[in-house]
Amino acid sequence: MTAADEVQVRVREQVAWVTINRPQRMNALATATFARLVEVSLALDRDPAVRVAVYTGAGERAFSAGVDLKELDTAGSILHPMGGPARNLNEVVLEMSKPTIAAINGVAAGGGCELALACDIRVAADTARLGLPEARVGMGANFGSVVLPQLIPRGLALEALYTGDFIDARRACELGLVNRVCPADELTEQVEQLARRIADNAPLSVQRMKAVASKSIGLPISAALRLSVGPNPYDSEDRREGARAFVEKRKPVFQGR
């Protein structure tokens, strides 16, 4: 199986589904899989036909079990995650200009959990579990150590990191780590409906909101309110189309310009 086979991409009605297709290895992330996911993510971010990107895993057992430890066992020394010659996957997904959704269909462990954390929205099957067990195998959870304490209370985040314990889907939802939990057999349909609702809105507006929300983290409110980042929806054709459609009592047709 080639790297292209291990990452499947389907685009339909402006929603891209990116599926890690290594179910025999619980969708573990080999070096080639990481590289392919980076390539795919960058391409989708540039593609005007795509308004939302959804990440998921093949099969029912795992979203992704994280770094492929069998491959890692044969590797020599490892560079700092942000110090290699290629872009870091989680950084790329986090910085995508378009909305991203993690459809967590099973276990999301280590690097797989970090990929879910890099997405804007997380929807989990009721069978899913999330964890960062890097301390158990001598790794560092670099991305998770930065992002997880921003998503849930610091003490709970550090407990999860220090112990490597997993959090089930219901508890993750209680903590706000995932947006919603649904029966496993309804996950694809519910995520598709959510993605479609987002894709139907004005893309420049959504992208602007994401840029402001991301870049205002840590800023005083007075400074954050004066940010001018992302596309400008205020002087766009879509803004004029939205107003016309409201007056004419019809659904707007947004073009992303």
Give the pLDDT means over successive 10-residue stretches in the chain (257 positions). Answer: 84 97 94 94 97 97 90 58 79 97 98 97 98 92 95 97 97 97 97 97 96 95 93 92 93 91
Does residue 120 share a domain with residue 233?
Answer: no
Residue 98 vs residues 76, 132, 256: alpha-carbon distances, Å: 36, 26, 12
Query: Is 114 known to be catalytic?
Result: yes
Residue 181 host element (H or E): strand 180-182
Instruction: Enumerate residues 6+ apart whose C-beta is below 8 A from 44.
Output: 9, 16, 18, 50, 53, 96, 98
Does residue 136 share a domain with residue 118?
Answer: yes
Rounded Cα distance between 215 and 227, Å, is 8
| 150-155 CB contacts, 8 Å cutoff, 24+ apart | 150/217, 151/117, 151/176, 151/177, 152/176, 152/177
What are the respective helix, strand and coil percentages of the chain, to the nearest 5? 45, 20, 35
Q: Which of 13, 60, 91, 114 is catalytic?
A: 114
Domain of 238 in residue numbering reads as 203-247
- Is 52 a member of any domain? yes
Query: Is 95 known to be catalytic?
Result: no
Q: Which of 39, 91, 134, 237 is catalytic?
A: 134
pTM, entire model = 0.93
What's phi and psi for 230, nearest 5 deg? 75, 180
Does residue 188 share a domain with residue 174?
Answer: yes
Does residue 168 share a domain with residue 207?
Answer: no
Residue 44 in 3-state DSSP? helix
Does residue 175 share a domain with residue 60?
Answer: yes
Does residue 79 share a domain with residue 192?
Answer: yes
